[in-house]
Amino acid sequence: MPAIRILYFASLRERVGRASAELPGDDPLTVAEAWSRLNPALPLPPNTLAAINHEYVDLGAPVRGGDELAFFPPVTGG
Amino acid sequence: MAVRIEIREHGFEPLAELAAHQQALDARLAGRYGATASFIGTMRDHNEGDDVRGMRLEHYPGMTERELARLAEEAVERWSLLDALVIHRVGELLPNDPIVLVAVWSAHRGAAFDACRWIMEALKSRAPFWKHETLPDGSRWVAKNTTG
């Protein structure tokens, strides 16, 4: 099973201290569980947004091997 | 139906882009549209009471284009638009640099005004861009967009 690729953007990348990470893909996880497994000392900041394969998802959504999971703060474009 | 989405890493001229796009779409739509509405967002030299010297716009390559296409297509469907154009800057910007151009073409003005506004507001709440401002004495991430 391919790995889960995790991306962090903007201020969240700076808080976490890295732009990307990986998790084994053979373990069923939710978005929230993926966060706490990777960042056990850092509670998920309120208002954090998540996307799987470029689609917004809830924190309870399942993540599978091969997925690209992104965490980022509220967006400020335009 | 047509939607054109572009992310630009370098400066662009919204009015020239608008003119060129409309000229090109006349090949297939001349006579069919009665209304063109556009919005241009430009970088200010102040935000939340502070002077702003510059700005870096980050995005999520891949998701940005998909999200912009999704919301432009949603507007095309909802307002029966004939065409829509979204150009958005990323990278390093200075005050007075254009940030975003949204333009729509429709048969009547009501749909054009409403769709243009809707696309812009949806972009601000959904498209994965983040602004990082340079101030006279430091820098900061913009925490949230101002309303309206």
pLDDT tens digits for range B24-53: 999 999 999 999 999 999 999 999 999 999
State residue B144's pLDDT score: 85
Contacts of B82 (CB under 8 A, 6+ apart): B2, B25, B29, B32, B33, B105, B106, B107
Q: Are strands A4-8 and A68-72 parallel, antiparallel or unpaired?
A: parallel
pLDDT (tens digit per residue) in B78-128:
999 999 999 999 999 999 999 999 999 999 999 999 999 999 999 999 999
| Residue B74 predicted with pLDDT over 60 | yes
Query: What CATH architecture applies to the domain A4-72?
Result: Roll (3.10)
Q: Please list every residue in chain A whose beta carbon sits closer than 8 Å to the beta carbon of residue B124.
A: 75-78
Chain B residues with a Cβ under 8 Å from any Cβ in chain A: 41, 57-60, 62-63, 66-67, 88, 99-100, 120, 123-132, 141-145
| Smallest CA–CA distance from A10 into chain B, residue | B130
The verdict on a CB contact (< 8 Å) between B124 and A75 is yes
Task: Tell me how close the Cα of B27 comes to any Cα of chain A, in angstroms.
Answer: 30
Q: Which carries the bigger pLDDT value, residue B14 or residue B143?
A: B14
Nearest to A76 among B62, B100, B144 (CB): B144
State residue A1's pLDDT score: 86
Q: Quickly state the pLDDT bin for B1 (edges 50, 70, 90).
A: low
State residue B145's pLDDT score: 81
State residue B140's pLDDT score: 97
Residue A39 tokens read as 């960042």
State residue B148's pLDDT score: 72
CATH superfamily for B3-141 is Molybdopterin biosynthesis MoaE subunit (3.90.1170.40)
Residues of chain A with pLDDT under 50: none
The reported pTM is 0.96
The verdict on a CB contact (< 8 Å) between A78 and B141 is no
Task: Tell me how close the Cα of A67 comes to any Cα of chain B, in angstroms.
Answer: 13
Neighbours of B147 (CB within 10 A): 6
* Percent above pLDDT 70 for chain B: 99
